[in-house]
Structure formats: C-alpha cells, structure tokens
C-alpha cells in the first residue's frame, strides 16, 4: 500500500515538478526503490516499444532486436549520468547527495513511461499519414523528460537556472570523459594481457 502511495506520488512530481522535487528532497518523499522501479519500467517500456509499436512506424529489423541492448542504452547512461553529475556537483557546491541525484533522475524519467506506453498502443492503429502525431508525442515525451531532469537537478543542488544548464552540459562532457577513460582502461588491459601472454608463449616455446 505504501509502495502504491509512493508510486502515485511520481505522477505528482511529473505534473507539478517544482513542488514535487522540493518535497522529494526536503520532505523526504523520495524513495530509492521507486526511482529504480521507474528505471526498470522505462527499460521494459523501451523493449516493448521496439517489439510492439505499430508496423507503420516500426523500422526495427525483427532479427536484430536484442533486449540486452536496452541495458546499454538506458541503464548504463543512467548510471553514468548519476555518477558524473555527482562527481561534478560535489566540486561545484551542489547540495545533492548521490542518493538524491539517483532519485531525482529516476523520477524525471516518468514521462517516458506515461507517453510511450499509450503512444505504442496508438501506433498500432495509425496510418502513415497520421504518423506525424506519433513522432510529435515521442518528442513531447523527450522534452518533458529533459524539463523534469532540469527542474530536478536545480532543486536537488539548489542551483540557479544558468548554473543548472551549465552543470548539465558539463555532466555530458564528464560522461564523455568517463567513457573515454573506460575504453582506454580496457584497451590498456588488453594490451597488457596480450603482452604477458606473448612472453609466456615465448618462454614455453623456447627451451
């Protein structure tokens, strides 16, 4: 029952973001499990969307659909965003804790579910001529999500508008740096492993 009440609160956040995000932080209405459930639900929505959106707007090759990809495209960016945002705001006088950032980001993704699911059902009965409505709704969902993320970040860290925009852009840069470092790390490890293996081979083949 408590879970349902918490879940219902996400709607309040989506429709009254200023009030909603304030209460998330200062009235302790935010729940980590709700945020993570939303993350899971978004992933599920995207998987369903790829499979079941109407043929007229669905350009996915059925043989190339892979649910694991959604992990790559949703969960990893989510985690990267949270970590990058936290790392950055700690240095930039942000007031948010890591937990609060995860909660705010999670709650901000609610519109994706709210719009994508009905849109997916709708797409099955529309023709090419009406397909533009589908794409408009997709864009609306996306902009709504960005808007909520913006308000969320601003409230959690108690930033001004400009500083929030600046921080969000910088967060994207930091994500880029993190991906770069990650790839570099893997590449170095790979080189290292192959180097050790070559030496091992050299020693075993030589007597």
First to last CA, the chain: 72
Q: How far is CA 141 from CA 11, 91, 114, 189, in A?
A: 14, 31, 8, 40
Give the C-alpha separation, 54 to 18, whole Å: 35
Q: Which is nearer to another protein, 126 or 165 (CB)?
A: 126
Q: Which is nearer to another protein, 2 or 127 (CB)?
A: 127
Least Å distance, CB 136 to another protein, is 18
Give the C-alpha separation, 142 to 21, whole Å: 19
Least Å distance, CB 134 to another protein, is 12
Give the C-alpha separation, 207 to 205, whole Å: 6
Q: Which is nearer to another protein, 131 or 178 (CB)?
A: 131
Least Å distance, CB 130 to another protein, is 9
Least Å distance, CB 132 to another protein, is 13
Q: Which is nearer to another protein, 136 or 188 (CB)?
A: 136
Residue numbers at the binding site for another protein (CB under 8 A): 55-56, 61, 125, 127-129
Q: By the 8 A CB rule, do 174 and 87 touch?
A: yes
């Amino acid at each position: 029952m408590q879970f349902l009440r918490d879940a219902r609160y996400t709607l309040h956040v989506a429709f009254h973001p200023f009030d909603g995000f304030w209460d998330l932080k200062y009235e302790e209405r935010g729940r980590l499990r709700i945020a993570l459930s939303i993350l899971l639900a978004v992933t599920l929505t995207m998987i369903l969307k790829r499979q079941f959106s109407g043929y007229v707007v669905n350009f996915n090759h059925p043989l190339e659909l892979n649910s694991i990809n959604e992990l790559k495209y949703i969960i990893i960016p989510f985690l990267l965003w949270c970590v990058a945002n936290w790392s950055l705001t700690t240095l930039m006088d942000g007031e948010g804790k890591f937990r609060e950032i995860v909660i705010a980001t999670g709650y901000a993704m609610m519109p994706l579910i709210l719009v994508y699911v009905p849109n997916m059902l709708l797409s099955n009965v529309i023709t090419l001529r009406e397909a533009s409505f589908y794409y408009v709704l997709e864009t609306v969902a996306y902009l709504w999500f960005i808007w909520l993320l913006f308000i969320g970040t601003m409230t959690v860290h108690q930033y001004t508008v400009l500083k929030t925009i600046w921080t969000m852009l910088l967060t994207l840069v930091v994500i880029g740096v993190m991906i770069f470092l990650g790839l570099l790390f893997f590449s170095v490890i790979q080189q290292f492993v192959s180097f050790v293996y070559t030496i091992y081979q050299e020693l075993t083949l030589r007597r």
